[in-house]
Amino acid sequence: MTVLWSRADLEAATSGRFPSSGAGVIAGTGVSIDTRTLQPGDVFIALIGENSNGHAHAAAALAAGAAAVVAHEPCGDDPRILKVEDTLAALQGMARFARARFAGRMLAVTGSVGKTSVKDMLHAALGACGPTHCAVASYNNHWGVPLTLARLPAASAYCVCEIGMNHPGEIAPLAAMVRPDVAVVTTVAASHLGLMGSIDAIAQEKAELLLALPAGGIGVIPAGIAGNTHFERNATHVGAMLWRVGTTPECTARADDVAQDAHGSTFSLTLPGWRGVARVNAPGRHMAENAMLALAAAHAAGADMGRAVAGLATFRPGAGRGALAKVMHDNVALLDESYNASPASVRAALDLLGLVATGRRIAVLGDMLELGTFARHEHASLLPAVRANADAVFCCGPNMKILFDSLPPALRGAWAPDSTTLAPLVRAGLRAGDTVMVKGSLGSRMRHVVAALQADDAPVGPA
Ligand SMILES: Nc1ncnc2c1ncn2[C@@H]1O[C@H](COP(=O)(O)OP(=O)(O)OP(=O)(O)O)[C@@H](O)[C@H]1O
Ligand SMILES: [Mg+2]
């Protein structure tokens, strides 16, 4: 196993010191912030969380085989404990150190929706071209980004980081740590609108990522992105190129002949100096657009596109992000979109329902959260997309009540205050051959509805 962190490198990266008494070899092969998932050989960083203090687990980490513990509170005198000023700052120091010694191509992905999907598509595409290091899950915040970098093997060919944001000012410091060669912005849309205030403010924040590009670096954005001038200004400011991805002739990366089916999309793609046909095995226009961005970014990073296209074909959507499965008796199909929701992703999921359903189209929608004073408007304005793509609608939560009450009576399935109460109502309203799409913010717990449908193998209809 590759050694990521030696004694000298850990001290240099964190400005910390091991006790002078212990001169033994330190050979960290990984980095952990959680003893429940710690692997022997990991360097354990004792972070302070909202409801937890890693220092309380330092002894457990060492007992589980940690190569070292990084700590700023007293937690024993083991010679493997590296004393630092502040553990989060130490993790960030390790991230900068690992970034500095990395000679491969660095890619960063931000956007209102689609970050993890594009990051995982890049993982599949670039992984077919050379050793590729990627963020685990959605590790995209003030500890997730440095943790991803601190785990980066110096000899990787590619690294893909996901960068997220809930508040203004979050992207710039993370982008400066990542220092991407290729920066992808998937979308600018109303997510976290409550804290950001406007779509323009969101675009301005996302465009901060481009300021971390070097001269000659490449920004990859959808052709129709909102707040375009922010991206142009920032790319020009640092001397980076801007690649626009879309279906119109002036795009740098142009997709043609986009053919969608229930399991994915096929399209031809024209990039600077390359042309070919690609397939993504995740249904929906939004996943096709994500795939176009991922391939454009892979090309921008210098990947062998024959291999990248073959690699992309192995991508599958993550849990709760649009996989289609048959569930229950009577041929009921489930589109599990329960992972999370924002106005853009609910519209994408409704389109997907319209695309893949063979029988009746049933939409089950829980509240979209973090929209602040825009919540009423954003829920109400889903009506046209719902009318176009659903034959019956089940809703839960106070915000979705606004949408539910505006539905024509023929579309109204049922409304309930929460997902647990809604689940049996959905089940009772189903008929053989229906396709059910379940979506809502994580906090709306729509997975209860998914679990209830998956667990129930009785014939559909009223129990
Ligand atoms: N380009 C897109 N347009 C609209 N919806 C999308 C797009 N890409 C993905 N989605 C949908 O948005 C939801 C979240 O997708 P994904 O996890 O890729 O986004 P994310 O930006 O990483 O989210 P998070 O902020 O939670 O990390 C899923 O339901 C997915 O199907
Ligand atoms: Mg994510």
120 lies in the same domain as 81: no
418 lies in the same domain as 391: yes
Q: Could you read off the pLDDT of 343-380 as tens digits, one per residue? A: 999 999 999 999 999 899 999 999 999 888 889 999 99
- Identify the residue whose C-alpha is closest to ligand 1 atom 29: 321
67 lies in the same domain as 154: no
Could you tell me if residue 239 is inside a domain?
A: yes
Q: Which residue's entry shows tokens 């073959």?
A: 310
75 lies in the same domain as 12: yes
Is residue 332 scored above 80 in pLDDT?
yes
CA distances, 107 to each of 273, 393, 432 (Å): 20, 40, 46
**Rounded to two decimals, what is the model's pTM?**
0.93
72 lies in the same domain as 139: no
Q: Could you read off the pLDDT of 397-418 as tens digits, one per residue? A: 999 999 999 999 999 999 999 9
- Identify the residue whose C-alpha is closest to ligand 1 atom 23: 113
In CATH, what number is assigned to the domain containing residue 189? Answer: 3.40.1190.10
> For ligand 1, what atom is nearest to the CA of residue 117?
18
pLDDT at residue 446 in the model: 96
Could you tell me if residue 149 is inside a domain?
A: yes
Could you tell me if residue 441 is inside a domain?
A: yes
- Where would I find the H helices in 64-179? 87-101, 115-127, 144-150, 171-178
Give, for ligand 1, the residue of 109, 113, 265 to mutate: max count of ligand atoms closer than 8 Å to Cβ: 113
Burial of 358 (0-12, 13-18, 19+ CB in 10 A): exposed
Domain count, the chain: 3
328: containing domain: 323-455
Boundary-marking domain end, from 288, 312, 336: 312
Strands in 210-353 per DSSP E: 218-222, 241-246, 253-261, 264-271, 274-280, 323-327, 332-337
pLDDT at residue 79 in the model: 94
pLDDT at residue 327 in the model: 75
252 lies in the same domain as 299: yes
Could you tell me if residue 318 is inside a domain?
A: no
Given a contact cutoff of 8 angstroms between Cβ atoms, the answer to whether 341 and 347 are in contact is no
Could you tell me if residue 151 is inside a domain?
A: yes
At residue 100 the predicted structure's pLDDT band, cuts being 50, 70 and 90, is very high
- Identify the residue whose C-alpha is closest to ligand 1 atom 10: 114
- Cα 436 from Cα 334, distance rounded (Å): 5
462 vs 425: which has the higher pLDDT: 425
Rounded mean pLDDT of 69-83? Answer: 95
pLDDT at residue 463 in the model: 60
Rounded mean pLDDT of 123-148? Answer: 96
Boundary-marking domain end, from 312, 332, 366: 312
Boundary-marking domain end, from 46, 61, 93: 93
Is residue 9 scored above 80 in pLDDT?
yes
pLDDT at residue 462 in the model: 64
247 lies in the same domain as 130: yes
160 lies in the same domain as 64: no
Could you tell me if residue 171 is inside a domain?
A: yes
Q: Could you read off the pLDDT of 139-196 as tens digits, one per residue? A: 999 999 999 999 999 999 999 999 998 888 999 999 999 999 999 999 998 776 677 7
- For ligand 2, an ion, list residues with CB under 5 A: 115-116, 138
Is residue 40 scored above 70 in pLDDT?
yes
At residue 66 the predicted structure's pLDDT band, cuts being 50, 70 and 90, is very high
Mean pLDDT of the chain: 94
Given a contact cutoff of 8 angstroms between Cβ atoms, the answer to whether 433 and 412 are in contact is no
86 lies in the same domain as 107: no
pLDDT at residue 1 in the model: 82
In CATH, what number is assigned to the domain containing residue 83? Answer: 3.40.1390.10
Residue ranges around ligand 1 (CB below 6 Å)? 111, 113-117, 138, 140, 164, 186-187, 286, 289-290, 321-322, 337, 339-340, 344-345, 348
